[in-house]
Amino acid sequence: MSQAKNVLGGPLQTCCQSPLTGFYRTGLCETGPEDSGVHVVCARVSEAFLSYTRAMGNDLSTPVPAARFPGLKPGDCWCLCAARWLEALRDGVAPPVVLAATHEAALRTVSLADLKAHSID
């Protein structure tokens, strides 16, 4: 995982340390065989996205201490599932992304053009 690349072909950068994100809780949007959700899109979540994903059955606002999940608030960066980000894009509520911290595996689900159109870096 230490050689992970981002969607631009460079080294994968840290998405967020506080709250500590990533499937492996390393701050990086790394993925591996255990990560069935493919948590690889580094996004700055908005209230619109948090409401949307809660309505879709995935409440990202409520803390789950057993899963080392602090609960998110608007403005937090978090490694999102590529498929959920794409769903949000199609429904007009995709949060902005940090390309340098988005794992290249996201390109299996989302186009680079769509990611760049929502980039904050």
Domain locations in the chain as residue ranges: 1-120
Q: Domain 1-120 belongs to what topology?
A: Phenylalanyl-tRNA Synthetase; Chain B, domain 1 (3.30.56)
Residue 121's pLDDT is 82
For range 23-46, the mean pLDDT: 95
Residue 68's pLDDT is 77
**Binning pLDDT at 50, 70 and 90, where does residue 1 land?**
very low
User: Residue 81, Cα to own-chain centre: how many angstroms?
Assistant: 6
Q: Tell me: the pLDDT tens digits for 36-69? A: 999 999 999 999 999 999 999 999 999 998 877 8
For range 79-103, the mean pLDDT: 97
